[in-house]
Amino acid sequence: MKIKKLLIANRGEIAVRVIRACREQGIATVAVFSDADREALHVLMADEAYPIGAAPAVESYLAIDRLVATARRAGADAVHPGYGFLAENARFAEACAEAGLTFVGPPPAAIRAMGDKTAARKIARDLKVPMVPGTLEPIGSDDEARTRAREIGFPVMLKAAMGGGGKGMRLVRQEAELAGALRAARSEAGAAFGDTAVYLERAVSEPRHVEIQVLADGHGTIVHLGERECSIQRRHQKLVEESPSPVVDAPLRARMGEAACRVARAAGYVNAGTVEFLLDADRNFYFLEMNTRLQVEHPVTEMVTGIDLVREQLRIAAGEPLGYAQQDVRWRGWAIECRINAEDPFSGWIPSPGTITGLRGATGPWVRDDSGAYEGYTVPRWYDTLVAKLIVWADDRPAAVERMLRALAEYTVVGVRTTIPALQRIVGHPDFRAGRLSTAFLERVLPELRANDGRFATLATIAAVLAEHERARRGEAPAGDAEPPSRWRLAARPGWTAS
Amino acid sequence: MKYVATLGGEPTVVEVTGGAEGHYRLTLGDEVWEVDARLGEHGIASLLVGGASHVASVVDRDGTCVVQVGGETYEILVEEQTRWIIRTRGGAAGAGRAQTLTAPLPGKITHVAVRPGDAVRAGDTLVVIEAMKMENEFKAAAAGTVAEVRVQPGQAVNPGDVLIVIE
């Protein structure tokens, strides 16, 4: 059944991404928004938009009944969950099916099988896919955690059983840290996923995070689209991703891809999914978990394979066969993605919500800006901090690194602090340029990460004094970012219409 | 017009003259700079200095200019010279040894790790604030004794709210 009208049960840049794919295929789009998101870009871009509740996600983007009722009222025939929120919630997928809506994602059983990370580990064990040692059941009491952690051996990783996106995840170096880490991980897991269950894994030292993208249609075809390396993380949240990985060659790609497809097949998987692995210093890979959704970092795979993953998701959900096999998948060049978050990288990555008073994105050859923002847009404090994803493509990795540095230098965001200055230092770092990556990279370079090295001190002083001078001359109050008036009221001229 | 720009604790006297059609002359110490400046209403400034083209963004944050230029971020306090003289001549402000932890962002207190009378060391966790779906830990900057705890778990806080005082 062809999809004619699709409701996007999400917000921000991913909702915009899905709207774009729909528009290219003649599918009408229905946006939903919380009270905090009336002026969000996805609302402005969709064909229709409906309010679904208050700003806290539990009252809006996580409210299954309201989303399903809105989809039915709008006459949608399908629902795309994006990532985060309800993307890996089997009950939501079931509720959509019960309402006669096509869920653009895997069957509820596959979400359940893989969504429970401990159950997923059992599947991987049965398939003899290599795994990091750890618990196959969620841990109960603090005492049990202590006992199991001792058996596994410190350092250990605490992970949310229903988790993803780094939330509810803690590295525990020694036993003394265990109780505090348990409390924090459970609290975060409960808030993010509505389930406080956590499990333990041995922490592999300085591993690389390498994941395989798979696509499975409803007719038994499963292909992999190669790997993404996502080793640059802070607080277990990815910041820079690339495809291919600097250390994965064709034979290793084939082996990891085969393992990923095997896991997907065993789970009865259909649609786009990602199998995450750790890669140790000797390039041994270990199954971590399967994410039963579109990943934030999917664009790097799109750039090197030429395959539009959202379009494929929609085709698969409509029952179409993939129409190609593994040997038809070709990789070309190198793609890198940087996450532009509203955070202050020089103050512990503290969230920096507020109004974007000035914005100039990056464009030019082989640069892609997947953004949910525009000039005058206010980044709400209620949701995650991702504002935009900047993706570049080039023939090879050195050229992609230079292109990313060029694009980051062009990208100007005024009014909220962003990760851009930190991204410039990360991508320009000699270890990054050399492809010497690990999940410990960022922790290691953080002490070197300074707001400035003084090169532009005079210029900055001139700019600051002139800004102050002009302001004093005009007799204005400083136009700060504490409580700026909405640009809607000032100008009602969102910058996105111009590009 | 004379200003004092303080960057990293170092004050510099800056005199600004001109300004017709954006052409300014700035005197920093004994250096003179001719600058063609266009200050956009959105905080993005174009500066032509001796033919070199620079784009800087300038934002006010709690009275301090945050300038981003060339991928670097500078926090610069700019004051009229007279105001600077009045402020610095007093010299009493900030002399106390007390550490006051104020909320740097809006959020909800999820955990308070200390009680009045507790001895803390630098780096000890004091409170945890949940904001934008992340738990943010705030730690003691130096050793001391907790004098006041003004918040409790579950409480919503706004930027600038005093959370904990350490002596």
Sheet containing strand B119-120, edge to edge, reads B99-102, B162-166, B144-149, B119-120
Residue A478: predicted pLDDT: 53
Residue A485: pLDDT band by 50, 70, 90 thresholds? very low
- Shared domain for A212 and A281, answered yes or no, is yes
In a domain, A93, yes or no: yes
Q: What is the pLDDT of residues A421-457, one digit of tens each?
A: 999 999 999 999 999 999 999 988 888 888 888 999 9
Residue A473: pLDDT band by 50, 70, 90 thresholds? confident
Q: What is the pLDDT of residues A368-422, one digit of tens each?
A: 999 999 999 999 999 999 999 999 999 999 999 999 999 999 999 999 999 999 9
For the cut 60, the answer to whether the pLDDT of residue A499 exceeds it is no
Residue A361: predicted pLDDT: 95
- Shared domain for A285 and A198, answered yes or no, is no
Residue B99: predicted pLDDT: 75
Residues 275-304 of chain A whose Cβ lies under 8 A from any Cβ of chain B: none
* Percentage of the residues of chain A whose pLDDT score is greater than 90: 76
Please report, for the domain that includes residue A437, its CATH number. 3.30.470.20
**A465 with B70: Cβ contact below 8 A:** no
Shortest Cα–Cα distance, B132 to chain A (Å): 5
In a domain, A335, yes or no: yes
Residue A287: pLDDT band by 50, 70, 90 thresholds? very high
Residue A484: predicted pLDDT: 43
**B72 with A453: Cβ contact below 8 A:** yes
Shortest Cα–Cα distance, B65 to chain A (Å): 6
- Shared domain for A366 and A337, answered yes or no, is yes
Burial class (CB within 10 angstroms; exposed 0-12, middle 13-18, buried 19+) of A267: buried
Closest to A301 measured CA to CA, from A314, A288, A311:
A311
Residue A476: pLDDT band by 50, 70, 90 thresholds? low
Residue A130: pLDDT band by 50, 70, 90 thresholds? very high
Closest to A39 measured CA to CA, from A386, A362, A375, A351:
A375
Query: Which of A2-11, A69-78, A322-331, A448-457 has the weakest average pLDDT?
Result: A448-457
If you average pLDDT over residues B5-14, what whole number do you get?
94
Question: What is the Cα A401 distance to its own chain's centre?
Answer: 21
- Shared domain for A220 and A177, answered yes or no, is no
In this structure, the number of other CB atoms found within 10 A of the CB of residue A250 comes to 10
- A289 Cβ partners below 8 Å, 6+ apart? A114, A117, A120, A121, A164, A275, A276
d(CA A310, CA A22): 9
- A8 Cβ partners below 8 Å, 6+ apart? A15, A18, A19, A29, A30, A31, A32, A42, A46, A79, A80, A82
**B37 with A466: Cβ contact below 8 A:** yes
Contact A127, A114 (CB under 8 A): no
Residue B121: pLDDT band by 50, 70, 90 thresholds? confident
- Shared domain for A242 and A383, answered yes or no, is yes
- Shared domain for A413 and A441, answered yes or no, is yes
Q: Is the ipTM of this complex over 0.85?
A: no
Q: Is-cis flag, bond preceding A155, omega within 30?
A: yes
Residue B93: pLDDT band by 50, 70, 90 thresholds? very low
Q: Is-cis flag, bond preceding A244, omega within 30?
A: yes
If you average pLDDT over residues A147-171, what whole number do you get?
85
- Shared domain for A139 and A25, answered yes or no, is no
Spell out which residues of chain B touch residue A470, defining contact as CB-CB under 8 Å.
Answer: 39
Interface test with chain B among A381, A469, A493, by most B beta carbons within 10 Å = A469
Q: Which of A413, A459, A478 sits opposite B69 (nearest CB)?
A: A459
Residue B128 touches chain A, beta carbons under 8 Å: yes
If you average pLDDT over residues A177-186, what whole number do you get?
90
Average pLDDT, chain A: 92
For the cut 70, the answer to whether the pLDDT of residue B95 exceeds it is no
In a domain, A268, yes or no: yes
CATH architecture of B99-166: Beta Barrel (2.40)
d(CA A83, CA A427): 26
Contact A99, A77 (CB under 8 A): no
Residue A190 touches chain B, beta carbons under 8 Å: no
For the cut 90, the answer to whether the pLDDT of residue A491 exceeds it is no
Shortest Cα–Cα distance, A381 to chain B (Å): 5
Strand A78-80, strand A5-8: pairing: parallel
The domain spans of chain B are: 2-90, 99-166
In a domain, A76, yes or no: yes
Catalytic residues of A: 293
Shortest Cα–Cα distance, A395 to chain B (Å): 26
For the cut 60, the answer to whether the pLDDT of residue A489 exceeds it is no
Residue A379: predicted pLDDT: 97
Contact A415, A484 (CB under 8 A): yes
Contact B151, B127 (CB under 8 A): yes
Q: What is the pLDDT of residues B39-81, one digit of tens each?
A: 887 788 999 998 899 999 999 888 899 999 988 999 999 998 8
Residue A494: predicted pLDDT: 39
Interface test with chain A among B41, B67, B77, B110, by most A beta carbons within 10 Å = B67
CATH fold of B2-90 reads: Glycoprotein, Type 4 Pilin (3.30.700)
Q: Is A158 helix (H, G, I), strand (E, B) or coil?
A: strand
In a domain, A125, yes or no: no
**B57 with A381: Cβ contact below 8 A:** no
**In this structure, what is the dihedral angle of CA atoms A300, A302, A303, A306, given to the nearest 10 degrees?**
160
Residue A212: predicted pLDDT: 98
Question: CA distances (Å), A18 to each of A7, A28, A252, A365, in order?
Answer: 10, 11, 32, 23
In a domain, A269, yes or no: yes
- Shared domain for A231 and A295, answered yes or no, is yes
In a domain, A492, yes or no: no
**A192 with B133: Cβ contact below 8 A:** yes
- The domain boundary, picked from A55, A83, A104, lies at A104
For the cut 80, the answer to whether the pLDDT of residue A481 exceeds it is no
- Shared domain for A146 and A233, answered yes or no, is no
* Percentage of the residues of chain B whose pLDDT score is greater than 90: 48
- Shared domain for A215 and A193, answered yes or no, is no
Spell out which residues of chain A touch residue B4, defining contact as CB-CB under 8 Å.
Answer: none
Residue B98: predicted pLDDT: 65
Place of tokens 């969709």: A46
Residue A495: predicted pLDDT: 36
Contact A166, A233 (CB under 8 A): yes
Residue A194: predicted pLDDT: 81
- Which range, A13-22, A184-193, B75-84, is most confident? A13-22
Residue A482: predicted pLDDT: 43
Helix (H) or strand (E) holding A73: helix A64-73
If you average pLDDT over residues A224-239, what whole number do you get?
94
DSSP-derived secondary structure letter, A203:
P
Q: What is the pLDDT of residues A337-359, one digit of tens each?
A: 999 999 999 888 999 999 999 99
For the cut 90, the answer to whether the pLDDT of residue A475 exceeds it is no
Residue B96 touches chain A, beta carbons under 8 Å: no
Residue numbers of the domain that contains A99? 5-104
- Shared domain for A299 and A279, answered yes or no, is yes
Strand A78-80, strand A102-103: pairing: parallel
- A81 Cβ partners below 8 Å, 6+ apart? A9, A10, A87, A89, A92, A93, A103, A104, A105, A293
If you average pLDDT over residues A314-330, what whole number do you get?
98
Q: State the DSSP string of A30-58.
A: EEEEEGGGTT-HHHHHSSEEEEEE-SSGG
Residue B97: predicted pLDDT: 53
